[in-house]
Amino acid sequence: MATYIQRLAAMTDRPLELVQADGAALPQRLVPAHIERLKAYQPGRPPRQLMQELGIDRFIHLASNENPMGPPKSALDAMQEAMHGVHRYPESGAFTLRESLADIYRVGVENIAVGSGSESIMANIIRAFLSDTDEVVTSEGTFIGFYVLVNSQGSKLKLVPLKDYHFDLDGIASAITDKTKLVYLCNPNNPTGTIFSRTEFEEFMRKIPEHVLVILDEAYFEYTMGVAEFPDSMTYRYDNVITLRTFSKAYGMAGIRLGYGLGHDYLISFVNKVKLPFEPNMLAQVAGVAALQDTEYLRQALDNNDVGMKIITQEFQRLGIRYIPSHSNFVLVPYGSADRVAALHENLLRQGIAIRPLSAFGLPDCFRVTIGLPDENEAFVKVFRKLA
Ligand SMILES: Cc1ncc(COP(=O)(O)O)c(C=O)c1O
């Protein structure tokens, strides 16, 4: 006999007769078509399994743009202390964390949304503002998490090609129509590491109608905040822009899932209305407050990144390998073909090193490598030299 799940799965191929309380039949699909079309996330093989298969005791993660230094000790201490209180719900509204952020950015608490990763805030923005007749415009070759969220909402997603691995802001502005509700910009962009400049951004914003909401994803902000031409979105006051930042990258806490959004209180109020009430969790909230004060950790993380970026890119130069100069904690390498990328990926994995092939990002002939610790970068360079 077919299991319940098998029977449910079979139903997704044909209309399902639901019976309403008054007995009338309501023909309906079990799963909406746009959800049926979604491609499931394909995780790589878990490192522990690979390590067992390969008989190695160390795995070098250069695939996910994480900070290799480990979490800040200040955040670990704060979580250790808060752990004794986890039988209680977290502070509702995450006021302490939002107040810390408000102090730093000199805005009101009502201008700040926090969530389980900036991706959760992205999801809440989409939930709050998008209906299925709205269109969304962004670039090809940017953060795929955003595509997945828009597709799962059933809204139309218009993708403008990258221009020499950069966001084409003119192309995006031209793609906007009366139906466009949302534009997503990622600066620096993942996976290219490129930025658009202050002048480009200001010119772009002049063309954007007021009915269009702009998400400015600055997940890698800290790596580029010293660059004069970088348009730090917090130095502008556009009512229709929501900035997203995260503790997952430079702050070294991807696993705790903590991010924040900054914008006009009117917009933020809706984001906060649709969010899950006790998100982010208690440990994430205290870790965030502690990490924000830990400027020494941040300095060390950025130094480590600068040094590692030099080691890896100098090696690419020495080998005559083209790479795209990056303002972030990773580098994109156009590597000729998808087959070459696949072979490199597999060969590096066999040596216990993970990089990221980029076919899922629409860049099948490219890979991305994240900056690691000094000895991890050396290990990558040494193996890459032999394989390239
Ligand atoms: C551009 C960009 N935005 C958002 C995220 C998700 O960040 P978080 O861990 O805060 O959800 C990532 C993670 O890789 C990213 O690269």
| Residue 19 φ/ψ region, left for φ over 0, alpha for ψ in the -120 to 50 degree band, beta for the rest | beta
* Nearest Cα to Cα of residue 122 among 161, 100, 155, 149: 149
How large a percentage of the chain has pLDDT more than 70? 92
Q: Is 159 in the pocket of ligand 1 (CB under 6 A)?
A: no
Q: Is the pLDDT of residue 381 over 80?
A: yes
Q: Is 246 in the pocket of ligand 1 (CB under 6 A)?
A: yes
Atom number, ligand 1, closest to the C-alpha of residue 191: 16
Q: Is the pLDDT of residue 271 over 90?
A: yes
Taking residues 207-211, report their average pLDDT. 93
| pLDDT tens column, 32-47 | 888 888 877 766 678 7
Q: Is 326 in the pocket of ligand 1 (CB under 6 A)?
A: no
Higher pLDDT residue, 245 or 12?
Answer: 245
Query: Counting Cβ atoms within 10 Å, is residue 157 exposed (0-12), middle (13-18) or buried (19+)?
Result: middle
Q: Is 284 in the pocket of ligand 1 (CB under 6 A)?
A: no
Q: Is the pLDDT of residue 90 over 70?
A: yes
Burial per residue of 132-148, b for 16 or more beta-carbon CB atoms within 10 angstroms, e otherwise: eebbbbbbebbbbbbbb
Cα 58 to averaged position of ligand 1 atoms, centre (Å) = 25
| Strand partners of residue 159 | 138
Angle between helices 265-274 and 118-129 (to 10 degrees): 100
Q: Is the pLDDT of residue 14 over 60?
A: no
Residue 11: per-residue pLDDT: 62
Residue 49: per-residue pLDDT: 85
Q: Is the pLDDT of residue 384 over 90?
A: yes
* Domains present along the chain, CATH in parentheses: 4-31 (no CATH), 47-61+296-387 (3.90.1150.10), 73-294 (3.40.640.10)
Cα 359 to averaged position of ligand 1 atoms, centre (Å) = 18
Cα 5 to averaged position of ligand 1 atoms, centre (Å) = 33
To test the ligand 1 pocket, which listed residue (41, 246, 326, 370) has its Cβ within 8 A of the most ligand atoms?
246
Q: Is 219 in the pocket of ligand 1 (CB under 6 A)?
A: yes
How large a percentage of the chain has pLDDT more than 90? 83
Residue 218: per-residue pLDDT: 98
* Nearest Cα to Cα of residue 188 among 265, 250, 112: 250
Q: Is 329 in the pocket of ligand 1 (CB under 6 A)?
A: no
Q: Give yes or no for a contact between 98 and 119, defined as CB atoms under 8 angstroms apart.
A: no
Task: Work out the pLDDT band at 4, boundaries 50, 70, 90.
Answer: low
Atom number, ligand 1, closest to the C-alpha of residue 64: 14
| pLDDT tens column, 113-171 | 999 999 999 999 999 999 889 999 999 999 999 999 999 999 999 999 999 999 999 99
Reduce the DSSP state of residue 18 to 3 states and report it: strand
Least confident stretch, 10-19, 167-176, 289-298, 355-364 = 10-19
Q: Is 118 in the pocket of ligand 1 (CB under 6 A)?
A: yes
Residue 21: per-residue pLDDT: 65
Q: Is the pLDDT of residue 103 over 70?
A: yes
Distance CA 303, CA 214 (A): 31
Cα 119 to averaged position of ligand 1 atoms, centre (Å) = 6
Cα 270 to averaged position of ligand 1 atoms, centre (Å) = 21
Atom number, ligand 1, closest to the C-alpha of residue 118: 10
To test the ligand 1 pocket, which listed residue (215, 248, 257) has its Cβ within 8 A of the most ligand atoms?
248
Q: Is the pLDDT of residue 288 over 90?
A: yes
Distance CA 4, CA 10 (A): 10
Task: Work out the pLDDT band at 8, boundaries 50, 70, 90.
Answer: low
